[in-house]
Amino acid sequence: MSKNSQYDVLIIGGGMIGASMACALASLPLRIAIVEAFPFRSNNQPSYDARSIALAYGSKRIFETLNLWLAIKKDATPIEHIHVSNKGQFGVTRINAQDEHLDALGYVIENRIIGNALLSEIEKHDNIDLICPAKLESLDISTDKASITIVQDSKNQSSKKYSLEAKLIIGADGGNSKVRELLSIESTNKDYQQTAVISNVTPGKPHKNIAYERFTQQGPIAVLPMTDKRCSLVLTVNTDQVENVLSMNDETFLSYLEERFGYRTGGFTKTSKRFSYPLSLMKIKEHHKPRAVIIGNAAHTLHPIAGQGFNLGIRDVSSLAEVIADALKNNQDIGDANVLTKYQQQREKDQQKVAFITDNLANIFSNEFYPLAKARSKGLLLADLFPAAKHLLAKEAMGISGKLPKLSRGLPL
């Protein structure tokens, strides 16, 4: 990498959202760089501890349009049924792929599988540079360009600073976004006082491609079908209990899980190493400044109650890629504030809607006030009984409701 390198687009953050953004822009006449704080590495050894995401049907369609799906498909476990229940109360909602005339409502995929597919695709394109490990230090916006300073470490040399310039900066650097901080974009934060405990578990009987969302007094539990007869677990616990849950031996943890979840899966026979992360809701007051825009977890973090975090971020990618492509076709400056305002207008409604739904689900289903508990149980039952209501729920879960950009509809830019 040379000093004062000039690009059209600089993507800060090379995680799955940042890498997806680069892949979405790769076919356009742009010079792109990804600045990532950690080395890009490919771990090809299968691991029981591999963490996973639930990829909604709409997100799968985006990956399909970007020619990424074939590299992912063989390791993806389809979600054919979704079963939603409330512990201690009657009423369930069941959503089936067959009723939606689809093979799957979504897919569960290990993060490393998606990461490897994205990296392989990026390496095919000469117009994408990977700059890593490197950390963003400063950002300066002028009328016709954005400039950043990065610090790059080397094993055999001392740290070096480099200056890079671009027409557009895309912040995809996660919940603790340095780009958001340097742009002075204000955010509002709500601490749920809950922590998600992540693990892979083996159920006592075949999962039959059913994804479970189980609401309990201590918080929701998601059990998602995976390869090798495993399930991906997202277990919500009160933050003051998380250390106790993490310190349990495997036998005690599985008993605790069974007590909270029940025995629809035939109990659980094995668990992987457990990880945890605190849960909060973060929303921003503006999506962009001139020549800079933030996407993914840099722009919004959600309660994982409906598994929408990554899927919301990949829809950010789909919309922003189309806005940039349209600007190029119309000979517009891709970093112009008017261009970025179009992106904000496209994404605000979806982001606000998903934040509203997940926040209210988290509040409603963690409240044991008796009339409310009875009302939500009736709600689950009614949603199950009326096909039209169930169809709307399915469309929301699959990420295909509302007006969709080209990539989300299977159309190239």
Query: In one letter, which amino acid is 282?
Result: M
In a domain, 62, yes or no: yes
252: Cβ–Cβ under 8 A, 6 or more apart, which residues? none
Least confident range from 80-89, 248-257, 364-373: namely 364-373
pLDDT of residue 361: 72
**Domain of residue 48, residue span:** 5-76+111-188+280-364
pLDDT digits 0-9 by tens, 183-235: 999 999 999 999 999 999 999 999 999 999 998 888 889 999 999 999 999 99
Q: Is residue 393 part of a domain?
A: no
pLDDT in tens, 383-399: 555 567 667 777 888 88
> What pLDDT is attached to residue 294?
98
Q: Please check whether residue 150 lies inside any domain of the structure.
A: yes
Percent of the chain with pLDDT over 70: 87
pLDDT score of 370: 44
Report whether pLDDT(371) > 90.
no
| 387 occurs within a structural domain | no
| Residue 140: both structure tokens together | 């300066």
Band the pLDDT of 14: cuts 50, 70, 90.
very high
CB 147 within 8 Å of CB 263: no
Of 400, 287, 399, nearest in space to 342 by CA:
287
Question: Higher-confidence residue: 378 or 120?
Answer: 120
CA 201 – CA 225 distance, rounded (Å) = 10
Q: How far apart are CA 30 and CA 170, in angstroms?
A: 14
Q: Which residue has the higher pLDDT, 44 or 261?
A: 261
Helix (H, G, I), strand (E, B) or coil at 209: coil
Cα–Cα distance for residue pair 190/358, rounded to 1 Å = 13
In a domain, 180, yes or no: yes
pLDDT band per the 50, 70, 90 thresholds, residue 297: very high
Cβ pair 351, 312 in contact under 8 A: yes
Q: What are the counts of helices (DSSP H) followed by strands (DSSP E) for the chain?
A: 11, 20
SS3 of 35-54: ECCCCCCCCCCCCCCCCEEE
Q: Residue 377: inside a domain, yes or no?
A: no
Please determine, for residue 3, whether its predicted confidence score (pLDDT) is greater than 80: no
pTM of the prediction? 0.91
Domain total in the chain? 1
Length of the chain: 413
pLDDT of residue 403: 86
Which token pair is 403?
């007006």
Whether 310 is covered by a domain: the verdict is yes
Question: Tell me, what's the pLDDT at 146?
Answer: 96
Judged against a pLDDT cut of 90, whether residue 45 lies above it is answered with no
Interval 89-121: pLDDT, tens: 667 888 899 989 999 999 999 999 999 999 999
Mean local confidence (pLDDT), 60-76: 96
- Give residue 364's pLDDT: 60
pLDDT of residue 390: 64
Task: Read off the CATH number of the domain in which 132 is found.
Answer: 3.50.50.60
**What average pLDDT does this structure show over 264-275?**
95
Q: Give me the mean pLDDT over the 124-143 stretch.
A: 94
As a whole-number percent, the residues of the chain with pLDDT over 90 amount to: 71
Query: Are the C-beta atoms of 63 and 365 separated by less than 8 Å?
Result: no
Assigned domain for 270 exists: no
Single-letter amino acid code for the residue at 329:
K
User: Which whole number is the average pLDDT over 358-368?
Assistant: 65
Q: How confident is the model at residue 50 (pLDDT cuts 50, 70, 90)?
A: low
Minimum mean pLDDT range among 7-11, 48-52, 291-295, 327-331: 48-52
Give the span between the Cα atoms of 25 and 6, in whole angstroms.
17
Q: Is 21 helix (H, G, I), strand (E, B) or coil?
A: helix
Burial category of 267 from C-beta neighbours within 10 Å (exposed 0-12, middle 13-18, buried 19 and up) = middle
Phi, psi of 43 (to 5 degrees): -100, 105
- Residue 273 CA to its chain's centroid (Å): 22
Q: What's the mean pLDDT in 24-40?
A: 93
Average pLDDT, the chain: 88
Task: State the pLDDT at residue 158.
Answer: 72
For 3, residues 6+ apart whose C-beta sits below 8 A from its C-beta are 162, 163
- Note the pLDDT of residue 154: 66
Output the pLDDT for position 93.
85
pLDDT for position 42? 45
- How far, in Å, CA of 376 to CA of 380, rounded? 6
Q: What is the pLDDT of residues 138-194, one digit of tens each?
A: 999 999 999 999 998 766 667 888 899 999 999 999 999 999 999 999 999 999 999
Cα 145–147–150 angle (5° rounding)? 155
